[in-house]
Amino acid sequence: MPVGTQATVKGVMQRDLAGELDAKIILANTYHLFLRPGHELIRGLGGLHRFMSWPRAILTDSGGFQVFSLSDLRKITDDGVLFRSHLNGDAHLFTPESTVDVQFALGSDIMMPLDECIEYPASHEAAHQAMRRTVAWARSAYHHYQRHIEESASDTALFPIVQGSMYRDLRRECACQLVELNAPGYAVGGVSVGEPRSLSLEMTEATVEFLPRHRPRYVMGVGMPEELPEYVARGVDMMDCVLPSRNARNGYLFTSEGPVVIKQARYRDDASPVDPNCSCYTCVTYSRAYLRHLYQAGEILFSSLATLHNLRYYLDIMRQIRQAIVQGTFRTYLHGVRNRALE
């Protein structure tokens, strides 16, 4: 899922997201939209889909992760999180119920409950406490969501989030308790918080085995291109990551031949496309030399063209994976990716 934190995938028009990139679902962020422009304003303008002119699916993150990483003076109690806006210092309280209400106001297709995403590394005791709170909040959020769904006939989904830091026993305990909610899908949170990448994969594996196979399983905030098939191999259906879009803006382009760091002098007069195996608008239209020039000159077009390419690269990988699964060749595909990584 491309990440559209502020109701926009930075530098990409919705026309290109749906057309050129054919993204089926994007992610938006409850914390940011709650603070600015406000969920009631968005509700008044017909919900997030109409507000941002995006007719396809939207998943909204509950804001827990941003509260813990961005806001000042946060105070966590069993009731919720009291925090100060990173924009103007105003005090706000997020509770399991209030974040569900905000996401209903936005009109999300898939909403996430408030969770406590703990930093890495964390002691077993601290991780256990955060995990227990996450389960309690998920239950409150889920029951609140169910009451609302019954009243409104909405078909929004809510995916509880498994926490447990880097401890297998906590991951298992959290997953097993959340599965009792019989939710339409589940998420693995608390990975990609600074731990080694192999550990993110290991914790995902230790979590996913306890989640129902016939429901979507979503790992939050991963990964590098070569990791995508590794997550899929472990039973993951959905992922989101800011890497393709953020790296694009920083001049780091993912290609089938390895990364292209566009500011390097070697691309100064390079007439070839960013990725000769890519058929995105950027690659079929422009040279590395032109893109390097735009980057060096600080031109805003660079961000748009680079983001378009990087997102296309990620989405093409997912399309290849889906095709391999349908054709029964995923194992071969995975071995090919692993062998290339070793080269």
Catalytic amino acids? 61, 240
Pick the stretch among 44-52, 106-114, 115-123, 278-286 that binds Zn ion (CB under 5 A): 278-286
Candidates 18-26, 47-55, 69-77, 306-314 — which segment interacts with Zn ion by CB under 5 A?
306-314
Structure-token match 């019954």, residue found: 150
CB of 305 to Zn ion, least distance (A): 9
Question: 232 or 283: whose CB is closer to Zn ion?
Answer: 283
35 CB neighbour count, 10 Å cutoff: 20
In the complex with Zn ion, which residue's Cβ is closer, 42 or 283? 283
Number of residues that bind Zn ion (CB under 5 A): 5
Is there a contact between 193 and 161 (Cβ–Cβ < 8 Å)? no
Strand 80-84, strand 57-61: pairing: unpaired
Q: Which is nearer to Zn ion, 114 or 280 (CB)?
A: 280
Task: State in angstroms the smallest separation of the CB of 290 from Zn ion.
Answer: 13
Among 39-47, 155-163, 262-270, 304-312, the segment contacting Zn ion (CB under 5 A): 304-312
Looking at 106, 111, 236, 280, which residue binds Zn ion (CB under 5 A)?
Answer: 280
Q: How far is the CB of 197 from Zn ion (least distance, A)?
A: 25
Measure the N-to-C terminal CA separation of the chain; round to a whole number of Å.
29
305 binds Zn ion (CB under 5 A): no
Under rule CB under 5 A, which residues in 147-186 are in contact with Zn ion?
none
Distances (CA, A) of 26 to 56, 138, 300: 8, 23, 22
DSSP state of 27: E
Q: Does 188 bind Zn ion (CB under 5 A)?
A: no
Q: For Zn ion, which stretch binds (CB under 5 A), given 142-150, 172-180, 215-223, 279-287? A: 279-287
> Residue 56 Cβ, how far from Zn ion at the closest point, in Å?
22
> In terms of CB distance, is 92 or 312 closer to Zn ion?
312
**Cα–Cα distance, 165 to 304 (Å, whole number):** 36
Contacts of residue 275, defined as CB under 8 A and 6 or more positions apart, other chains included, come to 253, 255, 256, 257, 260, 283, 309, 313
Task: Tell me the CB-side half-sphere exposure of residue 230, using CA atoms within 13 A.
Answer: 19
Within a 13 Å sphere around the CA of 309, how many CA atoms are in the beta-carbon half?
A: 31
Residue where the block lists tokens 């058929």: 279
Dihedrals phi, psi of 21, to nearest 5 degrees? -90, -25
What sign does the CA torsion over 70, 75, 81, 87 have? negative
- Min. distance of Cβ 212 from Zn ion in angstroms? 37
Q: Which is nearer to Zn ion, 130 or 283 (CB)?
A: 283
CA distance 21 to 281: 10
Give the separation between CA 75 and CA 72, rounded to whole angstroms: 9
Q: Which is nearer to Zn ion, 58 or 274 (CB)?
A: 274
Q: Does 260 bind Zn ion (CB under 5 A)?
A: no
Asked if 283 touches Zn ion (CB under 5 A), the answer is yes
Instruction: State yes or no: residue 309 binds Zn ion (CB under 5 A).
Output: yes
Smallest gap, in angstroms, from Cβ of residue 99 to Zn ion? 37
CB of 13 to Zn ion, least distance (A): 16
| Contact region with Zn ion (CB under 5 A), list: 73-81, 194-202, 210-218, 281-289 | 281-289
What is the rounded distance in angstroms from the CA atom of residue 240 to the CA atom of residue 3? 7
Binding site for Zn ion (CB under 5 A): 278, 280, 282-283, 309
